[in-house]
Amino acid sequence: MQGPTMVRGVSRLRMSTFSRATTTTCSTCLRSTAPLDSRIAHSRAPFHTGRRDSSAWAAAVSVAGNIVNNAITRATRGDMPSVDPLRIVAKEMKFLTGNIRKLLGSGHPSLDRAAKYYTQAEGKHVRPLIVLLMSRATSLCPKAPQRQQATLQASMGIDSSISPLSVLSDFNPSATAVAPEAETNDHPDILPSQRRLAEITELIHTASLLHDDVIDHSESRRGSPSANLEFGNKMAVLAGDFLLGRASVALARLRHAEVIELLATVIANLVEGEFMQLKNTARDERNPQWSEETLTYYLQKTYLKTASLISKSCRAAALLGGSDAATVDAAYAYGKNLGLAFQLVDDMLDYTRSEQELGKPAGADLELGLATAPLLFAWKTMPELGALVGRKFEKEGDVVRARDLVAQSDGIEQTRALAEDYAQKAVDAIAPFPDSEAKDGLIEMAVKTLKRKK
């Protein structure tokens, strides 16, 4: 595989700058002068073990304030030529929604409608886009000979049941005789199993949104009334369950145990992340003091809620392609860091954008009692925020006061800086991949994650 200095065009320019940026010693960082990546790599890994170790995250957070002029920042200012990630996998993306709808048919008309409801409005489809780009980018990477059998098996019969249909009793009127993949075989470097994985990631994500909108009492999603408003809470929850069921069936039909384990774990992670979010701090105290543990808790929750799906589906894409261990790990690291950056930006936009701009309620996090990154950074220098966090901004005037204090602090800037740091680490992770448009597309996704306005 090629190193960072051998990548071409846009990537070469960016990658060489990225490499320098991550190895530069940070003069004001009090914790360590080692590159951030190596500090995280050598620390205990809370994401894998579930242990709540703060050291790696404290390091990440301390670096955030010091990143002022890195390559990602410059790229987001728009003076670098960019590729369009969507164009690179346009054919697959064009069929995505149709294929997803084919997986969701029910003989019960109301269930059919509720299950397909969020496929009507144009979603961003970030997760499937990343899976497809990762599939293409890793197709050029070294293969693990021992994985070839599983790879072959995964791509055969993704539409064939394992048990007899008479036993399954799961009639799907939307399933067609023609396999969806027959429509989209333009890129032989994207396997049918990887296309199906892209659809599964969107199904799991959409199921989580159906449930999330019930939990958050949301009234709009993607510029339209949310499913809970349209169908009521009961049907919205059941529709989400149905999506998970059909996603699980599609997953089983990949016939790849490791990939099944990864994606099934994502579902558990999403629920655990959502449970963590019910509290702002691990001890859920009434009058908490700011500590690094608070940020660790927030970042662990963020991994479970957002980065788990992106990272594990990137890993699964590499596995389905028969990639070697180093490539599989790199794909995972890319997804994990991109996922963390993605959620940090999301949490920042909640403070900086209007409802009209977002297509969903703005400022919702404080209203829901959630203390996210901008507020956690502000709290460090404004201890009075502790009482508000403890009572989940419930008292009259709390939300406005918290918003004002965040605005007076550098919480937004710190959040952006931390997001930039993660985006840069995502790009660094795939540096060893050989040159390709798909790799450029993955790099651009990291840039777009920071640039996005909704």
Binding stretches for Mg ion (CB under 5 A):
212, 216
97, interface contact from ligand FPP, Mg ion, none, CB < 5-8 Å by kind: none
Pick 150 or 373: Cβ nearer ligand FPP:
373
- Report in angstroms how near the CB of residue 185 gets to ligand FPP at its nearest: 30
What is the CB neighbour count within 10 angstroms for residue 364?
A: 15
CA 94 to chain centre: 21
Pick 213 or 421: Cβ nearer Mg ion:
213
Q: Name the token pair of 169.
A: 């009793």
Pick 103 or 209: Cβ nearer Mg ion:
209
CA 116 to chain centre: 22
- Report in angstroms how near the CB of residue 240 gets to ligand FPP at its nearest: 5
Alpha carbons 418 and 376: distance in angstroms, whole number? 12
Pick 59 or 270: Cβ nearer ligand FPP:
270
- Report in angstroms how near the CB of residue 355 gets to ligand FPP at its nearest: 11
428, interface contact from Mg ion, ligand FPP, none, CB < 5-8 Å by kind: none
Residue in this structure with the two tokens 């709009």, named with its chain if needed: 220
Alpha carbons 157 and 179: distance in angstroms, whole number? 9
- 325-334 long-range contacts (CB < 8 A, ≥24 apart) are 325/144, 326/142, 326/432, 327/138, 327/141, 327/142, 327/433, 330/429, 330/430, 330/432, 330/433, 331/134, 331/138, 331/430, 333/425, 333/426, 333/429, 334/134, 334/426, 334/427, 334/429, 334/430, 334/442
306, interface contact from ligand FPP, Mg ion, none, CB < 5-8 Å by kind: ligand FPP
What residues are paired with 225 via a beta bridge?
A: 220
Pick 216 or 437: Cβ nearer ligand FPP:
216
- Report in angstroms how near the CB of residue 303 gets to ligand FPP at its nearest: 11
Pick 216 or 347: Cβ nearer Mg ion:
216
What residues are paired with 143 via a beta bridge?
A: 323
- Report in angstroms how near the CB of residue 204 gets to ligand FPP at its nearest: 6
Pick 40 or 236: Cβ nearer Mg ion:
236
- Residue nearest Mg ion (C-beta atom): 216
Which residues of this chain interact with ligand FPP, rule CB under 6 A? 204, 207-208, 211-212, 215-216, 218, 240, 244, 267, 270-271, 274, 305-306, 360
274, interface contact from Mg ion, ligand FPP, none, CB < 5-8 Å by kind: ligand FPP
- Helix/strand/coil percentages in the chain, nearest 5: 65, 0, 30
211, interface contact from Mg ion, ligand FPP, none, CB < 5-8 Å by kind: ligand FPP
Pick 332 or 393: Cβ nearer Mg ion:
393
- Report in angstroms how near the CB of residue 218 gets to Mg ion at its nearest: 6
Pick 141 or 341: Cβ nearer ligand FPP:
341
Pick 212 or 293: Cβ nearer Mg ion:
212
Burial class (CB in 10 A: 0-12, 13-18, 19+), 139: buried
What does the chain come to in residues?
A: 454
- Report in angstroms how near the CB of residue 202 gets to ligand FPP at its nearest: 12
Q: Name the token pair of 47.
A: 């994401």
360, interface contact from ligand FPP, Mg ion, none, CB < 5-8 Å by kind: ligand FPP
- Report in angstroms how near the CB of residue 290 gets to ligand FPP at its nearest: 22
DSSP at 303: I
240, interface contact from ligand FPP, Mg ion, none, CB < 5-8 Å by kind: ligand FPP
- Report in angstroms how near the CB of residue 422 gets to ligand FPP at its nearest: 16
- Report in angstroms how near the CB of residue 403 gets to Mg ion at its nearest: 18
196, interface contact from ligand FPP, Mg ion, none, CB < 5-8 Å by kind: none
Give me the numbers of helices (H) and strands (E) for the chain, helices first please. Answer: 25, 2
Phi-psi group of 444: left, alpha or beta (phi > 0 → left; psi -120 to 50 → alpha; rest → beta): alpha
Contact 425, 36 (CB under 8 A): yes
